[in-house]
């Protein structure tokens, strides 16, 4: 049997942000940076990749380490981190991985004969005179490469633009020769940063980081993270050189902009920076993005949602779910891990991750330990939301919790819906099951579990019967 497609779609103990998905030879491969659980900065790990059959998007296989940070000649001691990469197939049929290290302003390239690695260092993007991109006078520092190769030319988009920095203009395009390294067209800005957004149509959604490029039919879609950080936006053009026209928001990792079951400006998850892209798999389009876990910025996980590209080329914003890669809602009976919560919030709205007052996705052990994820730090009013399920004849629910908590969990099928059950929990330092009868109406709906009481609870899983 096929496995369920879940969000996040990789194991709960894996922390891969900045996911760039591609289909090669009947499998979906995701290339991203590599965070650590409870890491102190972004991107501490070597590059790894996972892949899944295009017809079984719940069945992900670990392909191993595909590139080590010490393989770059500038990083033999491993003191620099590997930031977000992107992938393209060169004119020679080989797979080229473009990336940036965290303390130098240049773009590095690695190459392999297989999409699953292992990659070898290839060179640095440079001008015809050998000067590295990022080191010539007037160059902007390089960051988050996005690449696409057509007709022997590779289009490389890079950039990072924070508020108040007029030296960074936006996402910059460089066109490379068949050798995948040499710049043959002068760099130019194609999507404006926040300091240059006035009068462009990108106001309020200017380029921040995370350049990504895809071709859909005859249109080029530039996917990027905007100034608010939690959004992935898109812009379109008829040529990879632009001009690009702002299109809209595809996904927000705190669900701002979604008005289903809530006000559009109300965050229902703890967001932060975002990075990803769109991909078509078996005729269905998806947006890949990442979420923040562990109550901070440095342990991020890849997620995906179905999207629709309308006949006019627009992409409506989609909401966060727990079943993004699944073919429809999840079965309304069975056991589901707490780490699958797509909504986390309290009675005090907060769009960005951080602080000790809010629930968070956690795990036991250290980075690399294959421990199940759960929702921790659930204080009074903390809610974990899971969407969506196809309920049929559900008559009971069991939750598995622990913690020095004395209260109850309220069960709803919508954010402010009727309380269908109240499950009392008690002080315990081990995982305990608590069961209640419940009558959930048949049909597609959500599960919201809200803790009310004293102390701090953790939620490992729940079971619908």
User: 330-464 maps to which CATH number?
Assistant: 2.60.120.260
140 is catalytic: no
Structure confidence by residue, pLDDT tens digits, 446-458 = 999 999 999 999 9
Cα distance between residue 10 and residue 148, in whole Å: 26
| Residue ranges of the chain that CATH labels 2.60.120.260 | 330-464
- Tens of pLDDT along 19-75? 999 999 999 999 999 999 999 999 999 999 999 999 999 999 999 999 999 999 999
Give the list of residues 6+ apart from residue 444 with CB closer than 8 angstroms, or none: 329, 388, 389, 390, 391
What is the mean predicted confidence (pLDDT) over 355-360? 95
Q: What is the mean pLDDT of residues 411-428?
A: 97
CATH code for the part of the protein at 20-307 = 2.115.10.20
pLDDT at 122: 98
pLDDT digits (tens, 9 = 90+) for 263-285: 999 999 999 999 999 999 999 99
Q: What is the pLDDT of residues 175-219, one digit of tens each?
A: 999 999 999 999 999 999 999 999 999 999 999 999 999 999 999
pLDDT of residue 2: 87
Average pLDDT over residues 101-118: 97
CA 316 to chain centre: 18
**Tens of pLDDT along 272-321?**
999 999 999 999 999 999 999 999 999 999 999 999 999 999 999 999 99
Residues 6+ apart with CB under 8 A from 452: 380, 381, 407, 408, 409, 410
Catalytic residue among 18, 231, 255, 408: 18
CA distance 238 to 424: 59
pLDDT (0 to 100) of residue 1: 74
Beta strands in 45-196 (DSSP E): 47-53, 61-67, 86-89, 95-99, 108-112, 120-124, 146-150, 153-158, 170-176, 183-192
Question: Does residue 156 have a pLDDT over 90?
Answer: yes
With beta carbons less than 8 A apart as the criterion, state whether 389 and 353 touch.
no
Residue 18: active-site member: yes
Catalytically annotated residue among 20, 86, 209, 261: 209
Q: Residue 26 and residue 49: Cα distance in Å, rounded?
A: 16
- Within 8 A by CB and 6+ apart from 258, the residues are 252, 264, 317, 319, 320
Span(s) in the chain for CATH 2.115.10.20 = 20-307
Per-residue model confidence (pLDDT) at position 92: 98
pTM across the whole model: 0.97
DSSP state string for 122-138: EEE-B-TTSPBTTSSTT
């Amino acid at each position: 049997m096929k496995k369920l497609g879940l969000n996040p779609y990789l194991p709960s103990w894996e922390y891969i942000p900045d996911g760039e998905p591609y289909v090669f030879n009947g499998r979906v491969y995701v290339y991203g940076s590599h965070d650590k659980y409870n890491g102190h900065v972004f991107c501490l790990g070597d590059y790894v990749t996972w892949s899944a059959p295009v017809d079984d998007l719940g069945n992900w296989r670990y392909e191993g380490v595909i590139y080590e940070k010490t393989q770059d000649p500038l990083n033999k001691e491993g003191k620099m981190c590997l930031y977000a990469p992107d992938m393209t197939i060169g004119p020679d049929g080989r797979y080229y991985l473009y990336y940036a290290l965290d303390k130098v302003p240049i773009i590095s390239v690695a190459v392999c004969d297989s999409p699953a690695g292992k990659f070898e260092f290839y060179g640095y993007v440079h001008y015809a005179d050998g000067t590295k991109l990022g080191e010539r006078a007037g160059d902007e520092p390089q960051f988050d490469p996005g690449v696409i190769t057509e007709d022997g030319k590779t289009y490389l988009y890079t950039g990072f633009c924070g508020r108040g920095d007029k030296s960074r203009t936006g996402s910059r395009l460089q066109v490379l020769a068949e050798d995948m390294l040499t710049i043959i067209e002068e760099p130019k800005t194609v999507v404006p940063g926040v300091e240059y957004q006035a009068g462009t149509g990108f106001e309020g959604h200017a380029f921040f980081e995370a350049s990504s490029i895809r071709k859909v039919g005859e249109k080029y879609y530039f996917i990027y993270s905007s100034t608010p950080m939690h959004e992935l936006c898109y812009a379109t053009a008829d040529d990879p050189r632009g001009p690009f026209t702002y299109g809209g928001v595809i996904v927000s990792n705190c669900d701002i902009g979604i008005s289903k079951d809530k006000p559009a400006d109300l965050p229902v998850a703890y967001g932060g920076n975002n990075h990803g892209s769109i991909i078509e798999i078996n005729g269905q389009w998806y947006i890949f993005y990442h979420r923040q876990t562990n109550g901070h910025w440095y342990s991020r996980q890849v997620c995906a949602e179905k999207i629709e590209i309308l006949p006019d080329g627009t992409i409506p914003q989609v909401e966060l779910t727990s079943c993004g890669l699944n073919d429809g809602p999840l079965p309304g009976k069975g056991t589901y891990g707490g780490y699958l919560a797509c909504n986390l919030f309290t009675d005090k709205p907060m769009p960005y991750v951080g602080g000790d007052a809010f629930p968070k996705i956690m795990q036991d052990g250290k980075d690399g330990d294959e421990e199940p994820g759960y929702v921790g730090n659930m204080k009074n009013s903390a809610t974990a939301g899971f969407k969506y399920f196809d309920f049929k004849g559900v008559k009971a629910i069991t939750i598995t919790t622990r913690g020095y908590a004395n209260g109850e969990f309220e069960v709803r099928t919508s954010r402010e819906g009727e309380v269908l059950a109240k499950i009392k929990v008690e002080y315990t330092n081990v995982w305990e099951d608590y069961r209640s009868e419940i009558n959930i109406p048949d049909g597609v709906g959500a599960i919201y579990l809200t803790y009310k009481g004293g102390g701090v609870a953790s939620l490992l899983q729940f079971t619908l019967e």
